[in-house]
Amino acid sequence: ERIFADEGLPVELTRLPLIESSFDLRAYSKAGAAGIWQFIPATGRRFMRVDALVDERRDPFASTRAAALYLREVHGPLNSWPLAITAYNHGPQGMARAVREVGTTDIASIIRQYDGKAFGFASRNFYAEFLAALEVEQDYRTHFGELPMDAPLRFHEHRLDRPVSIQAAARSAGSGLDALAALNPALSAAIITGRRPIPAGYRLHLPESAAAGFSGGLAGVEPEARVVRVAAATPVPKARSRARVRHAVVTHRVKHGQTLTHIAHAHRVSVASLRNVNRLGKRSVLRPGQRLRIPVAENAT
């Protein structure tokens, strides 16, 4: 809400993710849309970093700033929030075409009269769905009674001036790897598993308790500890070294009845780590035959 208020936008717009993603950080669509705001790659790259190492569409703060900028941009020529909200699903050019063909900016008239081929059920009902979700959220006690609320996520942001492995960052922060990964959902699986470093310039989210000593701890990290293969700094037999590189990440084929908890226990990794590496949301359902990546770096000896 603070981000949208700073941009001069109605804070009610921050409820759009209710119908886009249910606020699932790991939400992905068949069209390649990602994160709570469901940006497709092309649109996301206009406002955020979206590449093989960092995908800020999955960062709720970066993507919310991007959504505010995008919605303000879309609203400009349409000059109507009902139209701009519908354009979030149908596209700004599509809504501009609807206005021209129907000859009005009245959303109700457009919904009833516009017969564009791409203006299907989802687009036609998007604004009504948003209003319904907003009403339920604002009066949730009437619909659901009292609900437990998560505490606000608090963290410290540190801009990295050089590449650093997530293992070194976690040690410098005095934080567990899973906790640091959970605070930085934009980081790719390659970074989380230690195959690639966190790039310079990335704004790393740290637990509040780690803020004071992080810079000093990172300053003492030797260059070798800031590259991907931290283990290579310790002499090991050649055969062992080759095996470690080859099995930095292994694959598990899901069997009938298995859950993430079962698989995590079998491989001695955390459920959070499995979710993060495989980009699975809390509502994701495993399918028999599905392949999961297992971050061996957590349990390698």
User: What is the per-residue burial (b if ≥16 Cβ within 10 Å, else e) of 184-199?
Assistant: bbbbbbbbbbbbbbbb
pLDDT, tens digit (0-9, with 9 covering 90-100), for 43-80? 999 999 999 999 999 999 999 999 999 999 999 999 99
Residue of 132, 133, 118 lying closest to 87 (CA atoms): 118
pLDDT, tens digit (0-9, with 9 covering 90-100), for 52-61? 999 999 999 9
pTM as predicted: 0.71
- Locate 84 and state its tokens: 């701009």
Answer whether 298's CB lies under 8 Å from 249's CB: no
- Residue-range domains of the chain with CATH: 2-144 (1.10.530.10), 155-233 (no CATH), 247-296 (3.10.350.10)
pLDDT, tens digit (0-9, with 9 covering 90-100), for 239-282? 443 333 333 457 788 876 677 877 876 676 778 888 888 888 87
Give the whole-angstrom CA distance, residue 13 versus residue 9.
8
Which secondary structure element, helix H or strand E, spans residue 249, and what is its range?
Answer: strand 249-253
**In terms of C-beta density within 10 A (0-12 exposed, 13-18 middle, 19 or more buried), how is residue 68 classed?**
buried
Which secondary structure element, helix H or strand E, spans residue 293, and what is its range?
Answer: strand 291-295
Using DSSP, state whether 252 is helix, strand or coil. Answer: strand
Tens-level pLDDT at each residue, the chain (301 residues): 999 999 999 999 999 999 999 999 989 998 899 999 999 999 999 999 999 999 999 999 999 999 999 999 999 999 999 999 999 999 999 999 999 999 999 999 999 999 999 999 999 999 999 999 999 999 999 999 998 988 888 888 989 988 999 999 998 888 889 989 999 999 999 999 999 999 999 999 998 877 666 765 565 554 423 333 333 333 434 444 333 333 345 778 887 667 787 787 667 677 888 888 888 887 777 887 888 888 764 333 3
Answer whether 43's CB lies under 8 Å from 69's CB: no
- Locate 291 and state its tokens: 């392949």
Please give the full DSSP string across 135-154, using - where no structure is assigned. HHHHTHHHHH-S---PPPP-
